[in-house]
Structure 1
């Protein structure tokens, strides 16, 4: 039987949650306000910014100066491509570590996680030289490869956690009924892990969409995604706050919409196996 929560404690918890949520969302809200101001109004004190008239001239200027559709297409291809390849590699790997016990499983998982602790700048030069010699600089293929390798440890870890929550007896029963390894993966394991796989896909897409370090250093014009699109409004001449805010809103709007629409599936996947 659930224990009743006192009303004052519930009100305090709710107020604290709303306060944290507002503080976390405030930078995005302020960027949205600056995006609908002129460059002159955007650098005024906050109260004067709020009182300034609304305008869409920054969005029009961004559209005229940059090819938004090309950057958007590059981001979609890179995010979805790297996610698809990561899943093709991570699903068999996570299945093997979850259902084929080995004393080295934990060591392998820790080793994979340790690769995320390496500062990216530490391997920038060798990767840049490899990409230059292989003809992968400023290509979607090159960015898909590097983002797949970067996010693969997280994908494997998440899928391994979800697969561990599935009873091994179900897979054993499928084998006894004559299921092949391919059938076991496609028709037994994957349908049961759909919430976990969906949340993994969403998280990986968000990480790939927001990746700035590698996309800025390994792309120039042809394969530049939306992160490079935003960075183009920070120049030696200065910061164009209104245009930079407009470009930022145009870049984050698609991923915000995806996150809003799929928030229930994302929460369900991230809590998969937490409630018995």
Structure 2
């Protein structure tokens, strides 16, 4: 008893220290978002003060101007374009990555490690290095300022990381379950839809969320390849930085509104995300 008590006290002290550290890190990550949210409710004059005034009066002028109340452009077309590009590309990525990951994890093809390395090597190319060829291709194909061009690009950009993630998730599925389904006469589409997919649902949700976030936040290709018709939300946000200066309150309001879909998706799928990212972590 006398030897276990000091160990228990040290364990409780270590747990309390780690808990305090986790709280401090959480607050540090949350502070910029809280600062942005508070600034979005200030007037431009109060937002530009240095140091900022926390007791300044609150107003919704930044949100009104963002939604076009002051005669500016409406953000709805850009938000719709971002939604279409992100959701459509994420669905295409899942449809392509799921059978590919199955072939690389459960029913492994020959030299499957080389295939995975090839997928990983495609992410080593700097995005800007492929910008000019893609721009020339889109121009010659008449697809500039086309939202479906972004869908194709986002699908190809997110497919390698999706295959890598889902391959690790599907590798944790017991092979005996799949073999039992085959013995019962289930064909490959049935095995994928009714056996593998339900078991790997947390991994699929985590992969879908990561691909959605990457597509929603992408700026470089959307900035270069779109104009007015296919403008996305991040491109629309850059329009608030003009030669007249930076309208901080309006930019913060726009940033908060554009970030809400990603925050909402992450909050809704947080349990699946934690389960998916932790698959294989504990044997």
Higher alpha-carbon deviation: 207-216 or 243-252: 207-216
Aligned residue number for residue 54 of structure 1: 58
Aligned residue number for residue 40 of structure 2: 35
Aligned residue number for residue 176 of structure 1: 183
Higher alpha-carbon deviation: 4-13 or 109-118: 4-13
Residues 32 and 245, structure 1, Cα contact 8 Å, conserved in 2: yes
Query: Whole-Å Cα distance in 2 between the matches of residues 263 and 269 of structure 1?
Result: 10
Between structures 1 and 2, the one with greater helix share: 1
Aligned residue number for residue 209 of structure 1: 216
1:224 and 2:231 aligned: yes
Aligned length: 273
Unaligned runs of 5+ in 1: none
Secondary structure, aligned partner of 1:34: helix
The counterpart of 1:134, out of the listed 141, 160, 178, is 141
Residue 137 of structure 1, CA deviation = 1.3
Query: Whole-Å Cα distance in 2 between the matches of residues 39 and 90 of structure 1?
Result: 46
- Structure number with bigger Rg: 2
* CA RMSD between the two structures: 1.6
Deviation digits for residues 178-235 of structure 1 (CA, Å, limit 9, x no counterpart): 1111111111111111111111111111111111122112111111111112111112
Residue 248 of structure 1, CA deviation = 0.4
Query: Whole-Å Cα distance in 2 between the matches of residues 184 and 100 of structure 1?
Result: 12
Q: Normalising by structure 1, report the TM-score.
A: 0.94
Residue 157 of structure 1, CA deviation = 0.6
Q: Which runs of 4+ in 1 moved over 3 A?
A: none
